[in-house]
Amino acid sequence: MASQFPNLFSPIQIGNMTVRNRIVNTAHGTNFARDHMVTDRHIHYHVERAKGGVGMSIMEATSVHPSYDIGVMNTIWSFDERNIPWFRRLSRAVHQHQAKILVQLNHGGRQSSNSETMMPSMAPSPVPSPDLWETGAEVPHEMDEDDIMEIVRAFGQAAAVVKEGGMDGVELHGGHGNLIQQFMSPWVNRRGDQYGGSIDNRLRFANQVIGEVRRNVGDEFVVGMRISGDEFVSGGLTLDDMQEIARRLAATGQIDYFNVSNSTYSDVKSMTAHIPSMYVAPATYSYLWEGIKNAVDIPVIGVGRINTADLAEWVLAERKADMVGMVRELIADPYLPNKAREGKLDDIRACVACLESCIGRLERGLSISCIYNPVSGREREWSDLKPASTRKSLFVVGGGPAGLEAARVAAVRGHEVTLFEKSEQLGGQVKTAAQAPYREEFGGIVGYLESQVRKLGVDVVLGKEASEEMILEANPHAVVIATGSNAYIPQVPGSELGIVISAKDAMEGKVDLGEKIVVVDTQGLHPGSDVAELLADQGKEVQLITTKPYVGASIELLTWRILYQRLMEKGVKMFPSVGLKEIGEDSVTVYSTITKEEWQISAVDAVVFAAGGQADNGLYRALKGKLRELFAVGDCVAPRGVEQAVYEGHKVGREL
């Protein structure tokens, strides 16, 4: 009930706009745009969160000028008048559900990749991004005053387009190492003219942008600014600096709120604080929000792993911030606000901060989703889950994420579902993955799915392996096979020896491995790095070899950055671009994939393979052609990730 969260569900005034509660879907990339235009996917995505009870949404960082683009994402051009009808459709649709929606205006400056427009990136000084994870590190064009005023006018033009589109306001992106922050920061701004040097000069560009935006939208339209409370780079802006900057900008009377995040995209370690994974404790950076709030008298939004309604209420009650940004939480469950307000906390699908399907998909040039909410990003097709026209008896064989999601969706639609799991607990390989250091939250995927299937009345049968004979005798209307996969051990000379073990068995502690371990990672995913870290924590001497160009090459970048540092600090010896040639009784022969040079690692007690799985599809093949409806989902089709398994389970649950 709302009384459990009196602060979270109280309205707030921002400028002339009243927001119904304190929950904000802050700006984040989606990669839904096409040809730099808003699309139906944006509309359905934001409407779903408005229906779910969010107070305010801020649309993703849009480009105010053709000189700013991001190579891995299609960026909305907010200056383009072709987007006015789209903004109108979006704002009207969101307003029907009593939520507010703004648009973030941005120019990335040196953090641009203009491979499409072929325009150079630009910045206050010709200082490249040293560690830019998205777009490379070209030396930017140093902006002269004509360039500066062109971009200032572009911000104003974009704001006018957004206002014409019926949106509730704009948010100027002055954080994350983008152009406004580049002018503010002595780390980037090395100018000797009126735009560099003193704090007044370094704020000149920001003040000109704010003034031009106000000139185009008037005093009644909401104008906010996102800022980084700390850049987290040597020589960059600190909290003390940002408090003074915030005070000066607020004193103009032209900014209605601050949205306080942190970091710069130009440094990967810094970015691990901006988009914190499960390796970072929730609300770690609340001191930044509080620091800015104490410096100004306008509302402050706090952003950074506020992952539960209880924590959000604490942030507000302790006056750390006036509003709470809960982006990934709303990606995982758009209905979190309504569920929290109604006291249905157990029904909230919590974000596990894995980063795999939100930012991880963006890193690969894909549109966002959620590792265990496949509706997220597919709202246009899947937001409505219709009851089944005919109630069927359904057997689901396998209690991993694919089987659990198939059972959940089928039960929601009204089918009579029985789920068989041969082990004594549900979860499949997710429960193994959650045993890795600092990855306990990953188990929340199974925790949610199990609680939901039990609440929905699914008959969960543990410790019983469903056989072909049993299923044929029961003759249910439909059967979903979700039997997963078994560990794959590559066939190299010596792989049959007793010192060889899978990463799964090593994670579960099934055998005594001895003291000197060689981990062979053929995929660059979590299992190889995770088992290496777990064994290092046990005091083992661990060497990790991989044919990939670096260890963990297929792990989401911001998660990888923290994990890789821990592996180094814990003494794991890592050998990239190295393959395994042969396993002996107590040694392995390895080789460089570059030079083909071979060498031997001796006195080896165990060889641990992290090489993926092999589909356990025997039951599916035995039943094929013998049942009215038979489906296979997840790893028993082909061993992949949790996202694919849940997607397939969900899809089949809808199709039954």
3-state per-residue secondary structure call for 84-152: HHHHHHHHHHHHCCCCEEEEEEECCCCCCCCCCCCCCCEECCCCCCCCCCCCCCCCCEECCHHHHHHHH
pLDDT confidence tier of residue 132, bands split at 50, 70 and 90 = low
Per-residue pLDDT, averaged over 453-473, amounts to 97
Q: Which amino acid is at 434?
A: A
> Please, what are the domains in the chain?
2-382 (3.20.20.70), 393-487+614-655 (3.40.50.720), 500-611 (3.50.50.60)
Percent of the chain scored above 90 by pLDDT? 95
Q: Which pLDDT tens digit goes with each residue over 344-364?
A: 999 999 999 999 999 999 999
pLDDT at 117: 73
Q: Which residues contact 292 (CB under 8 A, 6 or more apart)?
A: 227, 229, 242, 243, 246, 258, 260, 300
Nearest to 572 by CA among 611, 527, 516, 523: 516
Q: Which residues contact 152 (CB under 8 A, 6 or more apart)?
A: 205, 208, 209, 212
pLDDT at 136: 57
Q: Which pLDDT tens digit goes with each residue over 467-500?
A: 999 999 999 999 999 999 999 999 999 999 999 9
Length of the chain in terms of residues written: 656
Percent of the chain scored above 70 by pLDDT? 98
3-state secondary structure of 247: helix
Q: Which pLDDT tens digit goes with each residue over 225-273?
A: 999 999 999 999 999 999 999 999 999 999 999 999 999 999 999 999 9
* Cβ neighbours around 422 below 10 Å, total: 14
Q: Which residues contact 198 (CB under 8 A, 6 or more apart)?
A: none
pLDDT confidence tier of residue 390, bands split at 50, 70 and 90 = very high
pLDDT top residue among 616 and 74: 616
Q: Which residue is it, tokens 């030079």?
A: 595
DSSP string covering 274-292, please? Answer: HS--TTS-TTTTHHHHHHH
Side-chain half-sphere CA neighbours of 239 within 13 A: 13
pLDDT at 586: 96
Q: Which amino acid is at 406?
A: A
Q: Which pLDDT tens digit goes with each residue over 396-414?
A: 999 999 999 999 999 999 9
pLDDT at 1: 55
Q: Vertex 230, ends 229 and 231: CA angle to 5°? A: 130
Give the CA-trace dihedral at 326, 332, 336, 339, to 10 degrees: -160
pLDDT at 2: 64
436 vs 519: CA distance, rounded Å: 15
pLDDT confidence tier of residue 70, bands split at 50, 70 and 90 = confident
pLDDT at 133: 54
Q: Which residue is it, tokens 């260890």?
A: 551
Q: What predicted TM-score, i.e. pTM, was given to this entire model?
A: 0.96
